[in-house]
């Protein structure tokens, strides 16, 4: 009988060969592989990354990163969000190859193949690991849901102000939901 390893670790993930266009993630030691996202997904990620990046850069708040970029929460929880923000004071957690800990803000764009994982497992992971803000971008409904970590460590929905996305992490952000999805 040959023993097989049932729980993969960060070390196992780093030893995997790179395959063009594939994202490898670990959730509880279980490997998830995602193919390249759709054109709409990439377009929204690029557009939102640029808008957030410009806002952050103009105010010298930190840095915005777009996929691929590994975030290691533990040896068995490693994710590649679509976009994430690290404030200037937290930049030290980004080493040469991966972020070691919770970013200030994480954005996931729902795809048919990742929708349930983003809405369930990753939401719980981000909440329990202390990601201050989690944005869920829904291409089908052309909407952004903002979840903010409360004082008791639970995510609470942050309602928009009309069409404006409200971000406690980036309070001066002027982002209109309708303008983000315009032309999609």
Instruction: Identify the pLDDT of residue 5.
Output: 56
What separation in angstroms does the CA of 82 have from each of 5, 106, 150, 180? 29, 8, 23, 16
CB 33 within 8 Å of CB 22 = yes
CA 106/CA 118 separation, integer angstroms:
11
Q: What is the pTM of this model?
A: 0.92
What is the C-alpha to C-alpha distance for residues 79 and 92, in angstroms, rounded to an integer? 18
Q: Which of 84, 17, 129 is nearest to 121 (CA)?
A: 129
| Domains defined for the chain, CATH in brackets | 37-181 (3.90.1570.10)
* % residues pLDDT > 90 (the chain): 74
pLDDT tens per residue across span 141-168: 999 999 999 999 999 999 999 999 999 9
Residue 120 pLDDT:
95
- Segment 47-68 shows an average pLDDT of 95
The reported pLDDT for the residue numbered 1 is: 42
Contact 38, 59 (CB under 8 A): no
Quick one: average pLDDT of 40-57? 95
Average pLDDT over residues 57-72: 94
Nearest residue to 137 (alpha-carbon basis) of 37, 27, 34: 37
Pairing between strand 70-74 and 98-100?
parallel
Q: Categorize the per-residue pLDDT at 22 as very low, low, confident or very high, splitting at 50, 70 and 90.
A: confident
Strand pairing report for 30-34 and 23-27: antiparallel
Nearest residue to 85 (alpha-carbon basis) of 97, 94, 75, 72: 94
Q: What is the pLDDT of residue 87?
A: 97
pLDDT digits (tens, 9 = 90+) for 98-119: 999 999 999 999 998 889 999 9
């Amino acid at each position: 009988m040959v023993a097989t390893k049932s729980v993969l670790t960060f070390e196992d993930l780093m030893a995997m060969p790179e395959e063009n266009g594939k994202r490898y993630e670990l959730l509880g030691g279980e490997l998830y592989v995602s193919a390249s996202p759709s054109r709409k997904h990439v377009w929204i990620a690029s557009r939102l990354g640029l808008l957030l990046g410009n806002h952050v850069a103009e105010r010298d708040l930190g840095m915005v990163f777009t996929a691929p970029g590994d975030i290691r929460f533990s040896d068995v929880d490693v994710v590649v969000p679509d976009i994430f923000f690290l404030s200037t004071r937290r930049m030290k957690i980004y080493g040469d190859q991966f972020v070691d800990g919770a970013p200030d803000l994480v954005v996931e764009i729902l795809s048919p193949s990742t929708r349930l994982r983003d809405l369930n497992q990753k939401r719980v992971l981000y909440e329990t690991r202390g990601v201050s803000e989690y944005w869920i971008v829904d291409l089908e409904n052309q909407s952004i849901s903002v979840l903010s970590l409360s004082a008791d460590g639970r995510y609470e929905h942050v309602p928009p102000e009309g069409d404006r996305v409200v971000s406690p992490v980036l309070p001066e952000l002027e982002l209109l939901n309708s303008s983000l999805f315009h032309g999609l």
